[in-house]
Structure 1
Amino acid sequence: MNVSTRTVYAEIKRMNSWLETHQLSGVQRKGQRGYYLNPHEKEIIIQKADTILVGHDYEPCVKERRAILLLTIACSEHCLRIDDFMKMTKVSRNTLLEDMKQLKETLSKQEITLRYQAASGYVISGDERAIRLALKPYIHFIRTMIKNEKTFPSFWLKGPISSKRVHHLLQQSEQELKLEFADEMLDQLSLDLFFYFKRMKLGHAVHISNEEKRTLQETEECLAAIRFMAHIQKEASLIVHDDEIYFLSTLWLSAKKQKLPSIKKPEEHLIRTIARQMIFDFQRYACISFQEPKALEQNLTMHLIPAYYRLIYHIGMINELTDSIKKAQPEVFEITQKVACHLEKAACSKLSDHEIAYLAMHFGSWMRREGISSIARRSVYIVCGEGIGTSNMLKTQLLELIGYIEVRGLLSKRAYEELAAVDADFVVSTTPISFKGKPVHLVHPILTAYEKKTLLQYGKGSEAKIDENHVNALFNIIQQHTIVQNKQALLHDIRELLHPTYVSYQKGWNPVLNDLLTEQTIKLHQTADTWQEAITKAAQPLLDQNAIKPSYVEAMIQSVHQNGPYIVIAPQVAIPHARPEDGVNKLSMTLMSFKQPISFSKDGKKQVRLVIVLAAIDSMSHLKALKQLTMLLSEEKRTKQLMEAEDLASVQKLIDQFSQV
């Protein structure tokens, strides 16, 4: 509780006094049992609890008490010492010293100093803009106290202008701006400005850079702020500098709104694009599809515009529901955290959990509106016998393919076999393993199209279910033509055939890696401006050999447009491919290195210098070469050798090492 023993005893004494006035037994203490209440009176005390928390009986909690301390120091013209705060808060000296210590540590992170001076008592110093923004969360606690009719020092109600008058002037500004602040935001803004005006009365002024001023001058908020501050200057007898007008503009731009002006702002196109990207990614990660994405886009854009300005101007906010959202909807919160990267990139700043929780509320409420059930996060173990490099490559492909999936762990075959049970929804393995009650998918390190389709179903939790009618129909057909020795065993085998719990693949002859990557299909140190050009160039040797048709190149590019940069299977490595029916004449492969990295994603994160085009004629014949390629690329050192190689011979030597028949 961060309070002294003396404070605890004082609180118990106060509680007993209150209980006695209501003709109830006091707090009792008995040996090792500690403190307790009369069990027969607990219900009565709970019913009377509301009267405890209001009026002069109320004692602020720790965060409220610290808010009282900090705002008193920040807005008082008097010399304040610990003795003054003891009278004000009725807690011990040690408790107050601990409060001051915690406040100092919190403020120091924002480059603000709280210190004690013998002549002037406790003082707060630093950049005025930083101080005001640091006070915002503490003012929020005070607003909560006022809303709940809790008491606090009466002298706070005195200021250059009342918060009620500020509230009224803000409503007038709403009409000028043709917008509507959210109700709670209007109350919060009124109280924020009430305390800021007290700071201004003491001679503290903010400073805004010339660059920010030029940007803010073009906004409607700045013009409205000029008129608003003219009223304040007249009614409160305050000296209002131009920088205060610009500072107020940033507060208005970043305030949550219930209604936006009909005239579109210049930044709305950018924010709408961000909203669209976030919705697209949310659907992909959550494996859901919104029925009205345009309406959601409009709703989300209205919230993102002020959030964008809060990030730009480093204006924090408190969301009282953050913890409950994290607890009640952890999946929605986590996915929102991932898709928020688009807004963070645009504003060059990181979103707080409070901001993410508000965004999660938007997505969560829209899901409920459309009747979308809560997201069921699937879990998987990855088992690999080729080492950590190959395991990570497979993990990257799974996350790109499925998005919102929990990879419980990367296991060796030995580690998997030692498990008593599998605590995941399914297992993906590159090597044959035993069945432990959960579906096992035996795949290749670089996933084939069929493997991706099957795994995508499992990742979404929409894998095909056994149709017992089909099972029985097939059983009856078999029974008509033969004598069934063991009915239950046959039914089990039919079910396993229709819906196998252990998915494996046939084996057959396949060409090895150096059969496909030859002197004619390896090109080094090429150049390309775009990923489309890189794929086209890398495919050219196959076009020259008539191994593929031009339609196959178009299909590879279209696949990336539709599905994103899933072909980037490892850092700096992309393996573009399409379906055999898209224009493959014969099984073939090319390898092309580039002098400079080429971006394969809009955010610039998927940088590639090695492009390997694969043209398969079926789902099987290329798999041996593909596995050998995976082994070659599983170590970063070898990948770098391929990218940096100056001559064809050194590349062929590396390929030969992994081309065992």
Structure 2
Amino acid sequence: MLLNKNSCTLLRYLLELEEPETIMEISRNTGQSRRKIYYHLDKINDALPQGVDKIVSRPRVGLLLTAGQRLACQSLLNQIDSYSYVLSMEERMQLIILFVCVLKERVTIEKLIELTEVSRNTVLNDLNTLRNQLAVEQYQVSLITTKSQGYVLKCHPLNKVQYVHALLTKIFLEGTTSFIRVLEDKIRAYIQDDLLLSKVLQGYLSQQVHFIEQDLGKKINRYELEFMLRILPYLLLSYRNMVLSEQAKSDLKREFSLIRKRVEYRTAQKLQELLNQKLGLKLDEIEVSWIAILLLSYRKDQDIHATSQDFADLRVAVDNFIWQFEAHSPYELENKENLARNLMIHCKALLFRKTYGILSKNPLTRHIIHKYPELYAYTEKNVSILEEAWLISLTRDEIAYLAMHLGGALKHQAPEQKKTKQVYIVCDEGIAVQRLLLKQCQSYFPADYIRAVFTSEQYKSVEDLLEADLVIVTSDGLNSKFPLLQVKPILDYEDALKLKRFANYDLLDAEHSDFRSELERLLSHYLSNKEEAQELQYQIENLVEKQILTDN
């Protein structure tokens, strides 16, 4: 069984399906071509044990795992190890560069071939690609070869640890579980006797979490704390991998002079003493400083020192930011004192991350931008007051974190009572169609909106006596002083959109682009195959219609 990253991604996707999906839908949702989906399905089917039915897509129905297939697929994922998992090119390069960063021994091309289990040419191509990528990275790191050390990173020591932290963030937050397991197994195979990678150290650090937080007077975000414990051994190994002169070490200590005044540094010193006493693990002053930097940089859920006097300037900038956000946005904020305190806790860690180049990824950024675009936009518009005060530049992830804090403090506003609209239906297709059309329209309007159903002749005879917000018609021969909205006697999804648009936003079809034409135009940019585009367009149209009916 040789399953790679994409095979495992498809496996996980199939396990999450609760309703059948066609190969086309799976292709769109996973970002893989239909040919690739069939290819990986064949690989998965070959790996399934005897007695389990092959996974196939039924015509016009799609694909959904049976209970037996579900158990077998989950078992496949659980069994994947370094001998059965095929690394993608990106995963190989991540493994290679981390290996170069942490291994103390000389890194040769032969070791890299053994590590990745691919040909010499493939490894050389990966190394060239890595060099090109590093050349455009912000960390000023380059991959070189020396006689004494083999492949090694050439850079400032601080830059190297910053780069390794960013690399580990990408691996552990974006990598698949199978790849991370393979990576950890392969690294441990070459660094067998090092206490830093032992489960004993991980267990002891986990036990000390409560005491660390108690000593700090702060509660570190649980998600970030778990991440810190997981990557700390690799960060320390990447430091120990460097050959530094006494002058270089002295310069590095000077870089850390700021953090020695913080309570986190004293806590890191206590932790070092415990590690030495209990496990015989000795850390030098620079390694202790790195632990302190991580404790300072990771987000806190609580901090009793948030209002200490040495952060008075920080509080001024935060208060100005809150005032400016409220003054230049349509939002009202409540519990501003509590909001300011939470922002202080967050921004203290933010500034230390900026000072020491510690990358922080926000897994909710995309959701914040898409679900609350206005909140994000107003936050982004007003962060300049913080950037100017602290001489920093904020990323989208960092702005999204601020938007989350502001969103939690928004004053709840009761929805305004909607004015009752007066809607009339004009239909000349007979009583049966009139009644059916009325029932359909009632699915999209409150019961008291629709006042009556007329024929054209009846409507014209009473038009002067009516006040109407909208007249729904089924033919194009009617003239009226009131807004007209033409629909089919049996409503389709476009008619549903028109009615919903008017009910919610008072928009008539003429004031909005045609949905079908707009959808067809957008899909043409991404799909050159007209048949595939039409199939996807049909599925989207059906989904929209179902969603509209569900919302009602």
Question: What's the TM-score bracket when you normalise by the shorter of the two chains?
Answer: 0.5 to 0.7
Q: Say which of 352, 360, 366 aligns to 1:323.
A: 366
Specify the alignment match of 1:336 in structure 2.
379
> Cα offset for 1:307?
0.8
- Which has the larger strand fraction? 1
SS at match of 1:44: coil
Q: Deviations over 1:581-629 (max 9, x none)?
A: xxxxxxxxxxxxxxxxxxxxxxxxxxxxxxxxxxxxxxxxxxxxxxxxx
> Cα offset for 1:280?
1.7
> Cα offset for 1:117?
5.3
Q: Say which of 242, 246, 249 aligns to 2:285.
A: 242
Distance 1:77 1:350, change over 3 A: same
Specify the alignment match of 2:412 in structure 1.
370
The amino acid of 1:154's aligned partner reads D
SS at match of 2:151: strand
**Separation of aligned partners in 2, 1:140 and 1:236:** 27
Distance 1:193 1:256, change over 3 A: same
**Separation of aligned partners in 2, 1:93 and 1:21:** 36
Q: How many residue pairs end up in the alignment?
A: 367
Q: Deviations over 1:180-227 (max 9, x none)?
A: 111011112212321123234445566655665443232212222222
Specify the alignment match of 2:102 in structure 1.
75
The amino acid of 1:248's aligned partner reads I
**Separation of aligned partners in 2, 1:346 and 1:340:** 10
Q: Say which of 175, 184, 202 aligns to 2:214.
A: 175
SS at match of 1:115: strand
Q: Deviations over 1:68-117 (max 9, x none)?
A: 33222211234445665555455676765554444334433311112355
1:132 matched to 2:188: no
Q: Deviations over 1:356-385 (max 9, x none)?
A: 221222223333x73588xxxxxxxxxxxx
TM-score by length of 2: 0.56
Q: Say which of 173, 181, 194 aligns to 1:151.
A: 181
What are the ranges of 5 or more consecutive residues in structure 1 without an aligned counterpart?
Answer: 28-35, 374-485, 489-661
Distance 1:174 1:333, change over 3 A: same
Specify the alignment match of 1:42 in structure 2.
63
1:185 matched to 2:216: no
**Separation of aligned partners in 1, 2:278 and 2:237:** 14
SS at match of 1:370: coil
TM-score by length of 1: 0.48
Q: Is the 8 A contact 2:158 2:252 kept in 1?
A: no
Distance 1:299 1:190, change over 3 A: same
> Cα offset for 1:264?
3.8
**Separation of aligned partners in 2, 1:265 and 1:350:** 25
Specify the alignment match of 2:238 in structure 1.
199
Q: Is the 8 A contact 1:26 1:37 kept in 2?
A: no
> Cα offset for 1:276?
1.5
Specify the alignment match of 2:330 in structure 1.
287
Q: Is the 8 A contact 1:166 1:193 kept in 2?
A: no
Specify the alignment match of 2:79 in structure 1.
55
Distance 1:372 1:61, change over 3 A: farther
Pairs within 5 Å for 1:153-552: 153-156=184-187, 159-161=194-196, 162-202=201-241, 212-234=255-277, 237=280, 240-262=283-305, 264-367=307-410, 370=412
- Which has the larger helix fraction? 2
> Cα offset for 1:263?
7.2
Q: Say which of 89, 107, 116 aligns to 2:134.
A: 107
**Separation of aligned partners in 1, 2:342 and 2:370:** 24
Distance 1:12 1:291, change over 3 A: closer
**Separation of aligned partners in 2, 1:169 and 1:102:** 41
**Separation of aligned partners in 1, 2:150 and 2:86:** 25
> Cα offset for 1:262?
4.8
Q: % of aligned pairs identical? A: 19
**Separation of aligned partners in 2, 1:72 and 1:285:** 50
Q: Deviations over 1:529-575 (max 9, x none)?
A: xxxxxxxxxxxxxxxxxxxxxxxxxxxxxxxxxxxxxxxxxxxxxxx
Q: Is the 8 A contact 2:376 2:399 kept in 1?
A: yes
Over the residues paired in the alignment, what is the CA RMSD in angstroms?
4.2
**Separation of aligned partners in 2, 1:97 and 1:42:** 40
**Separation of aligned partners in 2, 1:93 and 1:334:** 49
> Cα offset for 1:241?
3.1
Q: Is the 8 A contact 1:129 1:207 kept in 2?
A: no
> Cα offset for 1:266?
3.7
SS at match of 2:181: coil
1:18 matched to 2:47: yes
Q: Is the 8 A contact 2:161 2:239 kept in 1?
A: no
Distance 1:283 1:243, change over 3 A: same
Distance 1:43 1:363, change over 3 A: same
Specify the alignment match of 2:495 in structure 1.
none
**Separation of aligned partners in 1, 2:383 and 2:255:** 25
Q: Is the 8 A contact 2:272 2:283 kept in 1?
A: yes
Q: Is the 8 A contact 2:368 2:376 kept in 1?
A: yes
**Separation of aligned partners in 2, 1:111 and 1:302:** 31
Q: Is the 8 A contact 1:67 1:138 kept in 2?
A: yes
> Which of structures 1 and 2 has the bigger CA Rg?
1
**Separation of aligned partners in 2, 1:199 and 1:331:** 42
